[in-house]
Amino acid sequence: MKTHTRVSLLLQFGISAVVFAELPSPRNITVQTLNTNYILKWDWDQGPHSKAVTFTAQYLASRFKIKALGKYNWTTVCEATSEHHCDFTAEDLYYFGIWILRVRAQNDLLASSWIQIQFCPDRDAAIGPPSAVVVSPVKGLLQVAISDPLTNKNASMKMLLQHMYYYIQYWKDPLEIQKPSSLRTTNNLVILPDLESRTWYCVRVQSRYDFYDKISVFSPTYCEQTDCQMSYWQIFLYFLLSLALSFLFVLGLSFCFLKSFKVIKNTFYPSIPLPTHIQEYLCDSPGSDMPHLLTTDSEVELCCDQLDVLTSDALVKDVVMEIHAPPQDSEQDSRNYSRHNSGDSGVYSAEEGSGQSGQAFKGGEELKLEKMGQISFQKEGRVEPDERIQDMHV
């Protein structure tokens, strides 16, 4: 029974092997690498079944030795792809490990045999140039800032290749006949020595790893001009110049401040006092410093006398009422007596005189009234009745 089972298995395996051998395998299998980016590539001969052919790519760690068919599980990366390449970058293969990569072709009924390659990233993977190079002038020289090559996870390749260094080439622009100068360094910040002032130089950088003789391509070429390197006496001279300019600036600022202060002081507190009559007019009192340009109506009534303007009829009526007013004291009696005497004489002269004298008396009375009106207008306040009567008799 066991012999029959073995024979049947051998027959099946032989038949399957014959069927698989009918489809040719891919050829020229290679791994294209850069830092930690890995792409498996292969060639395929175009045959009668080329339109329906697809490819499958797998990998396995080499520490597992293949002793029997299907003993270990291969990890499939690309399955049934029509492309002639497969990207293994996302699989994050260990950089210092050894891996087996394989690929085969198949169609609906047939499949080729596997073709495989051994791959060690530390030994086989190429390194790339610096990810960035910045050249800038510093004190008559050139400073080169170098950024490390990056892995697929944006980490520095120096974490994997600790002995990696940079090879720098620099020359005058345009390139002279002599050989370009070179410099090796493990630092990321380098100052190029022995450069001429105000001269254009071109720089390019290369990554290198000597253990497996890994050499990257050069980075793009960057050209920059060196500046003028100043001596110590020039630095001292510039310091004195800046100090003098600062002093002049502070002096000018102080002068402007003092002038503004004087203008403001002279405007609000003048050194020459105003005349006395102007101060009396502008201020409340002669000894007061507070201006009083505008006054209210109530203040005008308190400070000024009221002026009454009387017409001729009102003036005559007032005079007549004052003449016939009763005496109040001895002084007023004496004044009234003199008024009555003068009045009586006037009346008697009027009675004894003719019609012309009456007209003259009438004209004289009008003249006196007019004179009285002029006197009242010349005074600031109201004219006292006694003074008006005296003026009339005079």
- Report the SS3 class of residue 198: coil
- Amino acid at the residue 208: R
Cα Rg of the chain, angstroms: 64
pLDDT confidence band for 276 (50 / 70 / 90): confident
Which range, of 40-44, 47-51, 84-88, 277-281, averages the lowest pLDDT?
47-51
CB atoms within 10 A of CB 130: 22
Cβ atoms 284, 292 nearer than 8 A: yes
**Total residues found in the chain within this entry:** 394
pLDDT confidence band for 97 (50 / 70 / 90): very high
Mean pLDDT to the nearest integer, 176-180? 74
Which pLDDT does position 279 carry in this prediction? 66
User: With 50 as the cut, is the pLDDT of residue 247 above it?
Assistant: yes
Which pLDDT does position 109 carry in this prediction? 82
User: With 60 as the cut, is the pLDDT of residue 166 above it?
Assistant: yes
> Which long-range contacts (C-beta less than 8 Å, at least 24 apart) are formed by 274-283?
none
Does the pTM of the predicted model rise above 0.85? Answer: no
Token readout for 125 is: 């993977």
Going along the chain from its start, the domains and CATH numbers come out as 2-124 (2.60.40.10), 132-225 (2.60.40.10), 312-393 (no CATH)
pLDDT confidence band for 18 (50 / 70 / 90): very low
Alpha-carbon 73 to chain mean position: 62
Q: In DSSP terms, which residues pair with 189 in a beta bridge? A: 145
Q: Which of 30-34, 44-48, 369-373 holds the top average pLDDT?
A: 30-34
Question: CA-to-CA distance for 362 and 364, rounded, in angstroms?
Answer: 5
Cβ atoms 137, 227 nearer than 8 A: yes
pLDDT confidence band for 14 (50 / 70 / 90): very low
Which pLDDT does position 155 carry in this prediction? 95
Q: What is the mean pLDDT of the chain?
A: 75
User: With 80 as the cut, is the pLDDT of residue 216 above it?
Assistant: yes
Which pLDDT does position 319 carry in this prediction? 53
Residues 6 or more apart whose CB falls under 8 angstroms from that of 320 comprise: none
Q: Which of 43-47, 111-115, 237-241 holds the top average pLDDT?
A: 111-115
Mean pLDDT to the nearest integer, 116-127? 95
Where do the DSSP E strands lie in the chain?
27-34, 37-43, 54-61, 75-81, 85-87, 99-106, 115-119, 132-138, 141-147, 165-172, 181-185, 189-192, 200-209, 214-215, 222-225
Question: CA-to-CA distance for 360 and 367, rounded, in angstroms?
Answer: 10
Mean pLDDT to the nearest integer, 77-106? 94
Q: Which residue has the higher pLDDT, 346 or 299?
A: 299
Mean pLDDT to the nearest integer, 145-167? 95
- Tell me the helix, strand and coil percentages in the chain, rounded to 5: 40, 25, 35
